[in-house]
Chains A and B, each alone.
Chain A
């Protein structure tokens, strides 16, 4: 039961973030749906063995509820290839599986830093602000090792930052950014970095008092 605190911490983080996010989102929150891909690498390390990088990719569907801050919900699939070989001829096994997570996000103005990206904003004539989205979500992963009939579960944490890079019209927008996945496996620690690309869609613009503008 030594891993119970990790599970409880992730559950509490997800619940707390979701609660805060839901309250911040208000009774009729803004809704944004997104399909996200992530490619990058994780570094795995088991006790007594060295750390080795594994390529990883993930795809997820999710939603953000709220305007400047709110609730992040997401589900998807993750694939990690086997690591490079160590000098002792071992490597970390590849695995693949699904995940679901909940958390919170906050948007903040980064216009001054990323001024060049303003050209991509759909509403640039109304406002010169560029909003970056910082989010964190905790959840559960269910995985299977490559070349095996072996399944395992672990909690996970994902920290992500995205920026709008291209407005496609009709509420569609392309975001780019990065994420830092942390996989709390029972017998192996895994931390990564991935570049993300999201196709985001805000169903309808909202009025200043929070009503949906139909």
Chain B
């Protein structure tokens, strides 16, 4: 009997984890891309960007083709008010919600008692060349929106500078430094090559943990560095788009947030950082290499399917 019980338990466990994809839940994607901050200037002229709106349009098209219900807002339509209204419209929903943002990010102290913080800068959040308090969105602002709407299942994909400030660690430790790269001071190489070196910081974070946002977050860059764009898209978004067809690492037909992180990280490392780790950008005071970050929660979500 004992052997039968053990065999039954094993079979049940393996069977339950080997099932195919369940029917998709209700999925809503809110996609924002801001290239134009100053309407009097052309794309690409500071403070305007060039490709962020293209990123959003490509992402929206991909998600729509995957069966997501997509709301796309670019440039002057992608304001903080619009974002708040969009998320607010989902109040009480148990749907899977994807928040995508491509545009400027910044690190700033508005002197409002919040200290030095990282921000998303939707349209209207930059006047001249400076971020605007009340229009810029901090991690607390963004996660607070999701929480106020009572959303249970949210994924945020952020392609902007300093976006690592949104990738909370929770009880975990992120081995990717805030400013990635072997030339950074202090050394920005990925830490804990020996897993035992992570013992002290992981114990510290375990003991200090109280709670963390439910949102699963993947960011293009660390909280202390810029992200970059090339050719048709931001580098992160370019690999994010590719991951829909090439990112299914375990071959189960689903591309999860963990697989997206792994695919975009590898792409940026091989296609950009390998050639740019020694490129010093004096205007920004940093090297041009960067690395995505991922939040530290226990869950991951399916974003793309390879058969749809």
Contacts and interface: CB of A to CB of B under 8 A. Distances in A.
Contact of A41 (B13, B94, B96, B171): B13
Interface residues on A, range: 35 or more
A81 B250 CA distance: 11
Q: Find the residue from A55, A90, A91, A145 having the highest chain B CB count within 10 A.
A: A90
Given A52-B16, A53-B16, A150-B294, 19 more contacts: A3-B171, A3-B206, A46-B298, A85-B21, A85-B254, A85-B302, A89-B22, A89-B153, A89-B302, A90-B302, A93-B299, A147-B249, A147-B256, A148-B262, A152-B206, A153-B205, A178-B6, A186-B171, A193-B9
B22 A86 contact: yes
Contacts of A185: 171, 298
A125 interface: no
Contacts of A53: 12-13, 16-17
B224 interface: no
Interface string A141-175: 01011111111111000000000000000000000
Nearest to B254: A85
Nearest to A7: B207
Contacts of A178: 6
A182 interface: no
B10 A93 contact: no
A145 B295 CA distance: 11
A142 B256 contact: no
B110 interface: no
Interface stretch (B172-180, B230-238, B270-278): B172-180
B154 to A, nearest CB: 11
B19 A149 contact: no
A2 interface: yes
A84 B173 CA distance: 25
A195 B171 contact: no
B108 interface: no
Interface in B251-308: 254, 256, 258-259, 261-262, 265, 294, 296-302
B58 interface: no
A188 interface: yes
B192 interface: yes
Q: Find the residue from B23, B199, B258, B301 having the highest chain A CB count within 10 A.
A: B258
B195 interface: yes
A207 to B, nearest CB: 34
A87 B22 contact: yes
A1 interface: yes
A56 to B, nearest CB: 8
A147 B261 contact: yes
A149 B199 contact: no
Given A152-B206, A153-B199, A178-B6, A88 B94 contact: yes
Majority-rule SS of B interface residues: mixed
Q: Find the residue from A92, A146, A187 having the highest chain B CB count within 10 A.
A: A187
Nearest to A93: B300
A150 B9 contact: no
A187 B298 contact: yes
A41 to B, nearest CB: 3
B97 to A, nearest CB: 11
A40 interface: yes
A3 B302 CA distance: 30
A91 to B, nearest CB: 6
A145 B207 contact: no
Contact of A90 (B27, B153, B175, B207): B153
Interface string B200-235: 001101111110101000000000000000000000
A40 B9 contact: yes
Contact of B206 (A81, A97, A186): A186
B190 interface: yes
A208 interface: no
A25 B203 CA distance: 32
B51 to A, nearest CB: 27
A152 B296 contact: yes
B256 A91 contact: yes
Contacts of A91: 256, 299-300, 302
Contact of A153 (B175, B206, B210): B206
B170 A186 contact: yes
Nearest to B192: A151
22 contacts: A3-B171, A41-B9, A53-B17, A81-B17, A83-B17, A84-B16, A86-B22, A87-B22, A89-B96, A89-B301, A90-B153, A90-B299, A147-B256, A147-B259, A149-B294, A150-B173, A152-B171, A152-B202, A152-B206, A154-B206, A185-B298, A186-B209
Contacts of B13: 40-41, 53, 55
Contacts of B62: none
Q: Find the residue from A44, A48, A91 having the highest chain B CB count within 10 A.
A: A91
B251 to A, nearest CB: 13
